Amino acid sequence: MLSLGTRTCARCRVGKPLNRHHFYRRTRDPLGYQRMCIACTRGDLDRADAARLQARQEARAEALRAYQARAVGGPSSYYPPPPPDDLDDDEVRQEHGQVCLEWLIHRRADCVVAALTEAAWDGAGSPIDALANALFDEPPEEDREDPLYWAWDYLTDLAYLHADRLLEEVPEADRPAVVAILPEWCRPQKSAPETPASG
């Protein structure tokens, strides 16, 4: 192996053969190699990577704590999101319903976890239905200023969507079973038009 002699690593102070197996190349060095050996250089890189990873993790944790502080103990405390101005817009209304449901789930996280756990053990047909039963004793009255109404509105939309998709996915012969499991959320299916008799 070609060697230009030895070089003492600037970090570990160990003399090593000056070749590509012990030192990385460096064009501006008179002998063409870095001052630190490969082992020490890799150690520095690994420590730098670990420090960057830890910094990212700490930043994410701090951001999460700040978010939780704003949602739970910040200036708004447990107050729900205010209704937007244009609730007649379908997209705005849906987005507001989603935000209200997030707020309600955040406030009642213990109920949510308990409901989903029970639904899993019971083999419930719709975890969304179980969630609705946990969050609401009865459907709230329609009130555009009430975040509970909008949370209920969005949650029921999800329950109907879930039932509709189940009916689309299962074979036609199995659809009565889906309706029996989710009678509250299965909307009447449109019958296919009959084909006129020829003749």
Average pLDDT on 120-136 reads 83
Cβ 30 vs Cβ 1: under 8 Å: no
For β-strands 6-8 and 33-37, DSSP reports them as unpaired
Of 3, 5, 9, 6, the residue nearest 36 (C-alpha):
9
What is Dmax (Cα atoms) for the chain?
103
**DSSP-based three-state secondary structure for 14:** coil
Number of H helices, E strands in the chain: 6, 4
Looking at the chain, the whole-number percentage of residues with pLDDT higher than 70 is: 82
Contact 11, 39 (CB under 8 A): no
User: Tens digit of pLDDT for each residue in 29-78?
Assistant: 888 899 999 999 999 889 988 989 888 888 887 777 666 655 554 433 46
Residues 134 and 115 sit within 8 Å (Cβ to Cβ):
yes
Q: What is the pLDDT of residue 67?
A: 67
Q: What is the H or E stretch that residue 2 is in?
A: none
Pairwise CA distance, residues 181 & 175, whole Å? 10
Q: Give the containing element (helix H, strand E) for 122.
A: helix 109-122
Q: Which residue has the higher pLDDT, 150 or 199?
A: 150
Q: Poorest-confidence range of 72-81, 111-120, 138-147?
A: 72-81
Spatial separation of the C-alpha atoms in residues 159 and 150, rounded to whole Å? 14
Least confident of 41-50, 61-70, 130-139, 185-194: 185-194
Report the pLDDT averaged over residues 78-98. Answer: 81
Residue 185 · residue 126 · CB < 8 Å: yes
Q: What is the mean pLDDT of residues 89-105?
A: 88
The whole-number pLDDT of residue 7 equals 92
- Single-letter residue type at 31: L
pLDDT of residue 185: 65
Cα separation, 15 vs 69, in Å, equals 55
> What are the Cα distances from residue 73, in Å, to 32, 104, 108, 141, 185?
59, 15, 15, 29, 37
Are the CB atoms for 116 and 127 separated by under 8 Å?
yes
